[in-house]
């Protein structure tokens, strides 16, 4: 029988690459997005072409906690239990420190930290034994972020969540891990000015951004290996060492 995964923020970038890899490996996959319905439809059609009958598309914005009910209701309607939860969607706020507004600070925390906690709480009964939860953390949750305070602090919280959640999932033998990517060539990075992009690549020992596809090997290790638990695996091309 096919195993089922839910991947948040999976119509583009890293989430799309993870969903594509899971589909290639025979999984059923629920993909979510927040607002770009056009891109979501393109991805959905592409996935349906490669894995007919194994893809579900759902609009569910992580920055709105009511999306927890939306996702749970969707799993219920489709009679789905879940083997892997990939909490990938995340947002940022690039306001300068002196201009950060409490509502924007709060929105980043809701999307990146509060939403994953309450989604896991809600769908716990639908999660199968020996399953896994994999977060997308960030190198910026380990090193101070040069631009976004909220982003760096929430990604550090994601890493702390991984360690703290482990004990609550042992009864079902569900493992909790995170991938902490460095700089990955997605829309998120492509919108940065060329000068900033070249500053980044100068600091990466590999001399380039990571591709979303090569990152999926790390997610698959954490999803499949039954002894990986409570880990935050950095994949940064040697950013820290140059
Ligand atoms: N790219 C990097 O260098 C990098 C490095 C470290 C960590 N990360 C993390 O990796 C994750 C994905 O980033 P990415 O680079 O793949 O971004 P991306 O290419 O911009 O893709 C973002 C995906 O997430 C969805 N999304 C955005 N906001 C959402 C929300 N509030 N609720 C639900 N879905 C949402 C988008 O849907 P819509 O288009 O509909 O909004 C899209 O499907 C994020 O958590 C990010 O922090 C990225």
pLDDT at 182: 96
- Partnered with residue 30 across adjacent β-strands are 6, 56
Sign of the alpha-carbon torsion through 55, 61, 65, 66: negative
CB 160 within 8 A of CB 182: no
Sheet holding 55-59, edge to edge: 55-59, 28-33, 4-7, 82-87, 127-136, 175-181, 232-235
Please tell me the distance between residue 132's alpha carbon and the centre of ligand 1 in angstroms. 20
Three-class SS state of 137:
coil
CA of 15 to the centre of ligand 1 (A): 7
Does residue 61 have its Cβ closer than 6 Å to ligand 1?
yes
Please give the pLDDT value at position 2.
Answer: 87
Contact in structure between 65 and 116 (CB atoms under 8 Å): no
CB 197 within 8 A of CB 165: no
Residue 107: CB atoms within 10 Å: 17
Say how many Å lie between the CA of residue 136 and the centre of ligand 1: 9
Block means of pLDDT (10 residues each) for the chain, 242 residues, are: 94 98 98 98 98 98 98 98 98 95 98 98 98 98 90 98 98 98 93 89 93 98 98 93 54
Instruction: Give the CA distances from residue 21 to residues 60, 100, 102, 223, in Å, rounded to whole numbers and listed in that order.
Output: 22, 38, 38, 12
H-type alpha helices, 124-240: 149-165, 187-190, 194-203, 212-224
Which residue's CA is the nearest one to ligand 1's atom 45? 90
pLDDT of residue 188: 86
Ligand 1 pocket check: which of 6, 7, 8, 9 to mutate, most ligand atoms within 8 Å of Cβ?
9
Domains and CATH numbers, the chain: 4-241 (3.40.50.720)
Q: How far is the CA of 91 from the centre of ligand 1 (A)?
A: 7
Q: What is the pLDDT of residue 241?
A: 58
From 126, 185, 133, select the one nearest 7 (Cα to Cα).
133
User: What atom of ligand 1 comes closest to residue 209's alpha carbon?
Assistant: 3
For residue 44, the model assigns a pLDDT of: 98
């Amino acid at each position: 029988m096919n195993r089922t995964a839910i991947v948040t923020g999976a119509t583009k970038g890293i989430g799309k690459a993870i969903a594509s890899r899971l589909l290639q490996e025979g999984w059923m996959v629920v993909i979510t997005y927040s607002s770009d319905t056009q891109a979501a439809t393109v991805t959905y059609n592409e996935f349906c072409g490669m894995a007919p009958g194994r893809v579900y598309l759902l609009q569910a914005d992580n920055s709105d906690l009511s999306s927890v009910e939306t996702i749970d209701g969707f799993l219920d309607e489709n009679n789905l239990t879940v083997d892997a939860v990939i909490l990938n969607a995340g947002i940022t706020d690039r306001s300068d420190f002196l201009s950060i507004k409490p509502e924007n600070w709060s929105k980043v925390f809701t999307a990146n930290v509060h939403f994953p906690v309450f989604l896991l709480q809600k769908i716990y009964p639908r999660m199968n034994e020996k399953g896994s939860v994999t977060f997308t953390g960030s190198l910026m949750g380990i090193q101070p972020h040069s631009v976004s305070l909220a982003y760096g602090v929430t990604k550090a919280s994601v890493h702390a969540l991984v360690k703290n959640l482990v004990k609550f999932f042992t009864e079902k033998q569900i493992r909790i891990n995170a991938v902490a990517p460095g700089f990955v060539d997605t829309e998120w990075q492509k919108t940065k000015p060329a000068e900033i992009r070249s500053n980044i690549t100068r600091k990466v020992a590999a001399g380039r951004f990571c591709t979303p596809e090569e990152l999926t090997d790390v997610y698959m290790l954490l999803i499949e290996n039954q002894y990986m638990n409570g880990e935050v695996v950095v994949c940064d091309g040697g950013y820290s060492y140059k």
